[in-house]
Amino acid sequence: MILKNKKALIIGVASKRSIATSIAEIFAKNGASIALTYQNDKLKSRVEDIASVLETSEEVLLHPCDLSIDDDIRNLKLDIKDKWGNVDIIIHSAAFAPRELLNGDYVDNITRDGFQIAHDISSYSFTALAKEFRDIISPCGSMLTLTYLGSERVIKNYNVMGLAKASLEANVRYMSHSLGNDNIRVNAVSAGPIKTLAAAGISGFNEILKHVEDKAALKRNITLEEVANTALFLASDQSSGISGQVIYVDGGFNISGV
């Protein structure tokens, strides 16, 4: 029960296969109080269903939040402040780029709008959460985001999302210095490929899975549970000395050469 008495806000549940769903499940099992958000009304009932089966003794808080809308982030904060007073853990497990950009030639397909949207939702929104929530995150609090190797290596079809993840990882470092003044830690988990709704938007995703299976040190793909267990460690006081880091949960794929 390493998250006993901790309050965790988890953003990014869209389906049972979402990384955020696995994180919510393991956090609940480890004693955390849970708040979940849903991006829009279409996803509301799905998130309600997921909330209803979490193994937690307390009511799960549910709130709409579209990360592209400042008022949504503000209302989320006001609701959390009202219900909980403060929050210990914020998980940012959300990203978006227009689908037509996650395919084909990077330069031919990029647009100014698509570039801005990808960076806004996938990187700036993490800072926006920090800015809004800073005064109610407890000392020893932890903020965590999800990133991918496409930030530093060229991955076919990942295109503009690679740039947005590079921005997100730089964001983790700058945020960790800024929030470190309040004893709040900021980290990222760089997960290997997992079939989720977001992953389905990337052309040729099955080829990526096969390549990782062949080349990763562990000769297999990783599981949702493995990502969630690392999130558990980074959210808990067990990782109290770690901030500003990108931790790879990818079966050792990122260190593989020839």
Ligand X SMILES: NC(=O)c1ccc[n+]([C@@H]2O[C@H](COP(=O)([O-])OP(=O)(O)OC[C@H]3O[C@@H](n4cnc5c(N)ncnc54)[C@H](O)[C@@H]3O)[C@@H](O)[C@H]2O)c1
Which helix (H) or strand (E) covers residue 62, if one does? Answer: strand 61-64
* 152 contacts ligand X (rule: CB under 6 A): no
Q: Which of 30, 33, 39, 159 touches ligand X by CB under 6 A? A: 39
Q: How far is the CB of 125 from ligand X (least distance, A)?
A: 7
* 95 contacts ligand X (rule: CB under 6 A): yes
* 14 contacts ligand X (rule: CB under 6 A): yes
* 12 contacts ligand X (rule: CB under 6 A): yes
* Main-chain phi, psi angles of 249, to 5 degrees: -120, 80
Burial profile 60-98: b = 16 or more Cβ within 10 angstroms, e = fewer: bbbbbbbbeeeebbeebbebbeeeeeebbbbbbbbbbbe
Q: Catalytic annotation on 106? A: no
Coil, helix or strand at residue 190: strand
* 96 contacts ligand X (rule: CB under 6 A): yes
Cβ(186)–Cβ(224) under 8 Å? no
Q: Catalytic annotation on 148? A: yes
Q: How far is the CB of 78 from ligand X (least distance, A)?
A: 17
* CA atoms within 13 Å, Cβ hemisphere of 58: 19
Cβ(214)–Cβ(253) under 8 Å? no
Give the per-residue contact string, 191-220, with ligand X (x = CB under 6 A; - = no).
x-xx-xxxx---------------------
Q: At what angle do helices 125-133 and 70-84 cross, to 10 degrees?
A: 40
Q: How far apart are CA 91 and CA 177, in angstroms?
A: 18
Q: How far is the CB of 258 from ligand X (least distance, A)?
A: 24
Out of 124, 148, 174, 248, the active site residue is: 148
Q: Which two tokens stand for residue 179?
A: 């929030």
Nearer to ligand X, 14 or 32 (CB): 14
Nearer to ligand X, 32 or 94 (CB): 94
CA 130 to the chain's CA centroid: 14
Nearer to ligand X, 3 or 97 (CB): 97
Cβ(6)–Cβ(208) under 8 Å? no
* 123 contacts ligand X (rule: CB under 6 A): no
* 79 contacts ligand X (rule: CB under 6 A): no
* 246 contacts ligand X (rule: CB under 6 A): no
* 121 contacts ligand X (rule: CB under 6 A): yes
- Catalytic positions are 148, 158
Residues that bind ligand X (CB under 6 A): 12-15, 18-20, 39, 43, 65-68, 93-96, 121, 146-148, 191, 193-194, 196-199
